Structure 1
């Protein structure tokens, strides 16, 4: 039986991004894709690990996102890790480029999905890298919240 196509909904998530970065704000951006890339995404095949968005010549590009080749395509195959242009309004691009220019800030893709109209979108996070100490603090907070919930359940 053939695999079901994804007409809308999440194709890929970058779960590691929320662990390694402190996300300040999120932005939705369109993405320029070729036909075989869209077909591959509709099959749910994409990896956002180790990918990032980078400004270049006044535009934003998604770098190192892996979209595997579509088996049904003929000789028009795409490069699996090529730079893909992100589609945003000029004002948003300028604001994000200024934010990335600050020390330690980066744009990380959090998820890639199809919206209700069937268009491929990328959710970008404006983020700052966490240190080892920050990650440990997050773990301590999580454990403390679990312990509080456990005590509250035991009481009543």
Structure 2
């Protein structure tokens, strides 16, 4: 019996940020955390990544407590370490030292081997007028689709 594919997205990311470059990273998780992710009980709202002592961490990622987890249960919003190779970490560190850039998680998924992976992106924050332009383009595309369907 094949389980449904887990694909948790950060929908605000593309609206609030202009994505420059993306990377796929592994996550260090406990047993109850991976079980909650497999049930789809995770959220990437308001998450961001930061460097601490040369390691990349994700902060504010919400993974709900596992229902059947007893005293072994995890805290829902703890910092989690991301696994990248040294060259990728060096490149990310260099890119984020430039002003205006940040690292944000875009998507959380489970790969074919059953491991939880997270897609992160180096992003630049959009200005208010850029957000309005994005909304206008989205609305124009929607109206064009409606016209062609009729």
Is TM more than 0.5 here?
yes
Aligned twin of 1:59: 55
> Deviations along 1:67-122, whole A, 9 cap, x unmatched?
11111112111111111000000000010011111111111111111001111000
Aligned twin of 1:117: 113
8 Å CA contact 2:32–2:66 kept in 1: the answer is yes
Q: Verify: 1:137 aligned to 2:149, yes or no.
A: no
Alignment partner of 2:69 out of 67, 70, 73: 73
8 Å CA contact 1:7–1:118 kept in 2: the answer is no
1:48/1:152 CA distance change after superposition, 3 Å: closer
TM-score (norm 2): 0.90
8 Å CA contact 1:8–1:118 kept in 2: the answer is no
8 Å CA contact 1:24–1:126 kept in 2: the answer is yes
TM-score (norm 1): 0.87
Alignment partner of 2:43 out of 41, 47, 59: 47
Cα distance, 1:129 vs. partner? Answer: 0.6
Q: Which blocks of at least 5 consecutive residues in structure 2 are unaligned?
A: none
Higher CA-based Rg = 1
Alignment root-mean-square deviation, CA = 2.1
Cα distance, 1:14 vs. partner? Answer: 0.6
- State the secondary structure of the residue aligned to 2:42: coil
Aligned twin of 1:98: 94
Counterpart-to-counterpart distance in 2, 1:153 and 1:73: 49
Structure 1 stretch 99-108 or stretch 9-18: which is displaced more?
9-18
